[in-house]
């Protein structure tokens, strides 16, 4: 089902998919390669939050709200993605609610990881 609405895109090492503060309207599924997720510190330097690899999803928050990106995503190797536009995903989620539920599970897992990380600081 997702393959019917996704397009494949490839990028070189160092390419920035999106910047913290950008308006988001696309979700990325990593087919191959690695993506670093970065967030600005108060001093303007980049803080490494995560490295995402094959089968990871990024940019999913932008499919559920129209807010700005919370982090920057940069390829740390040559990468290939399946890319899904917000409008296409909304239509698919209406037709197949299990897909929307799957993304909710991803979001909850990430929130749980953040809470656990904060409690260990």
Which 3-state string (H, E, C) describes 25-75?
CEEEEEEECCEEEEEECCCCCEEEEEEECCCCEECHHHHCCCCECCCEEEE
CATH number for the domain running over 2-119: 2.60.120.10
| Measured distance CA(61)–CA(58) in Å, rounded | 8
pTM for the full predicted model: 0.82
The residue written with tokens 């239509």 in the block is 91
| Measured distance CA(31)–CA(34) in Å, rounded | 9
16, containing H or E segment: strand 16-18
| Annotated domain spans of the chain | 2-119
pLDDT tens readout for residues 33-89: 999 999 999 998 999 999 999 999 898 887 777 788 989 999 999 999 999 998 888
Per-residue confidence band for 118, with pLDDT thresholds at 50, 70 and 90: low
| Measured distance CA(21)–CA(7) in Å, rounded | 24
């Amino acid at each position: 089902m997702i393959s019917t609405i996704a397009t494949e895109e490839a990028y070189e090492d160092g390419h920035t998919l999106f910047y913290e503060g950008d308006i988001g309207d696309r979700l990325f599924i990593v087919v191959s390669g690695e993506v670093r997720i970065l967030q600005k510190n108060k001093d303007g330097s980049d803080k490494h939050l995560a490295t995402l690899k094959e089968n990871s999803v990024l940019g999913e928050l932008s499919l559920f709200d129209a807010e700005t990106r919370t982090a920057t995503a940069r390829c740390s190797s040559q990468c290939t993605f399946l890319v899904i536009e917000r409008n296409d995903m909304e239509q698919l989620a209406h037709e197949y609610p299990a897909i929307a539920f799957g993304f909710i599970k991803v979001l909850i897992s990430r929130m749980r990881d953040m809470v656990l990380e904060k409690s260990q600081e």
